[in-house]
Amino acid sequence: MAFNLQTFKIRALTAVVFVAVMLSGLLINHWTFFLLFTVIHFGCWVEFQKLIGLIDPAYKTITPFHRYGVMLMGWGFMLWMTNKAYTIGNFDLSEIGWWLLLLSAITVPLTEVLLSKQMNFKLIAHSIFGLLYISLAWGLMISIRNQGMIFKGTFLFMDLGWAIPLTLIASIWINDTMAYIVGSFIGKTPFSKISPKKTWEGTLGGAILAVATVTLVGYFAFGMSDYISLLVISSIAAIAGTAGDLLESKLKRMAGVKDSGQIMPGHGGFLDRFDSLLLATPFVWLYLQFI
């Protein structure tokens, strides 16, 4: 994979803007975090439904109740995964999310039968896959964000919940960047037919550099004493993140498109940018449950 300076410049400029938006959402407070991933959630869903419609044209015929109902169902799951810090007056977002999730789960298949006059299980299966692929990940990301919140009664006394998501996202960014650079200069051995530009040299180089950088910088520069978690989270980001990239590449190949969208020049769409995080997040969540 030859190094292209112009492509690198476009990707770098877009990345600067992207990083600024992401860091603002991640670090200002828990509300901006939820707003950020709400936008990402719906952006991923729009692109996912477009891809599935190209893979299976019958999916383009789903009713608006089905199309937007599954998006709201997934968002309901995100709301449900919030904690008591997410309240507006007397309204608890978690409780609202539970009822939205339940209502959507009932009305989507019901309207499918009433409006389409049949229950097309293949089309429903596509949407269930989207819920597991997209909404599950972002709901669990909200759950991860909840950790590190310290309450005194109902008052949020201290909030360090941004630390783990930032570590995970930084690991993926470093892995992607280092894999691209290493692969551009010394990559020769193809990694997968699904993504011909990926090489073993770039993949292994990116993973090693990501794990080393996150662990060393986190431990020595930021005083994060739990170096085991730094090692595990950065390793999950490298391994599951790469698998997530290949999964999305497979979907795009089946759909016959180069990018899932055009929201970010040089980087594609929401799914292109967050494919690694979609698969890595559930595994990090599982790890956190064990410790």
Residues 9 and 44 in one domain: no
Q: Is 152 helix (H, G, I), strand (E, B) or coil?
A: strand
Same domain, 142 and 224: no
| Shared-domain flag, residues 243 and 135 | no
What is the per-residue DSSP string for 15-62? HHHHHHHHHHHHHS-HHHHHHHHHHHHHHHHHHHHHHHHHHSGGGGG-
Classify the phi-psi angles of 27: left when phi > 0, otherwise alpha if psi is within -120 to 50, otherwise beta: alpha
* Percent of the chain residues topping a pLDDT of 90: 71
Condensed to tens digits (0 to 9), the pLDDT of residues 14-23 reads: 778 888 999 9
Residue 204 CB burial class (10 angstroms; 0-12, 13-18, ≥19): middle
Residue 59's pLDDT is 95
Residue 192: is its pLDDT beyond 90?
A: no
| Residue 205 lies in domain | 5-20+161-290
Q: Are residues 46 and 107 in the same domain?
A: yes
E strands, 24-161, are 87-88, 91-92, 149-152, 155-159
Q: pLDDT tens, 53-93?
A: 999 999 999 999 999 999 999 999 999 999 999 998 888 99
- Are 165 and 284 in a shared domain? yes
Instruction: Please count the CA atoms within 13 angstroms of the CA of 220 that sit on its side-chain side.
Output: 6
The answer on 227 and 149 residing in a single domain is no
* In the predicted structure, residue 184 carries a pLDDT above the cut 70: yes
Q: Which of 137, 154, 171 is the last residue of a domain?
A: 154
Residues 6+ apart with CB under 8 A from 131: 70, 73, 74, 77
Q: What is the pLDDT of residue 2?
A: 52
Q: Based on the domain organization, do 184 and 135 belong to the same domain?
A: no
CA distances from 91 to 29, 38, 81, 94 (A): 19, 18, 15, 9
pLDDT > 80? residue 6: no
The answer to whether 269 and 259 are in contact (CB under 8 A) is yes
The position carrying tokens 């449900």 is 80
pLDDT at 263: 81
Whether 164 shows a pLDDT value over 70: the answer reads: yes
pLDDT in tens, 118-159: 678 899 999 999 999 999 999 999 999 999 899 988 788 889
Where among 109, 131, 154 does a domain terminate? 154
Q: Taking the alpha carbons of 35, 145, 47, 110 in that order, is the dihedral positive or negative?
A: negative
242/144 same-domain check: no
Q: Mention every residue, 6+ apart, whose C-beta is less than 8 A from residue 60.
A: 53
Total structural domains within the chain: 2
Same domain, 42 and 120: yes
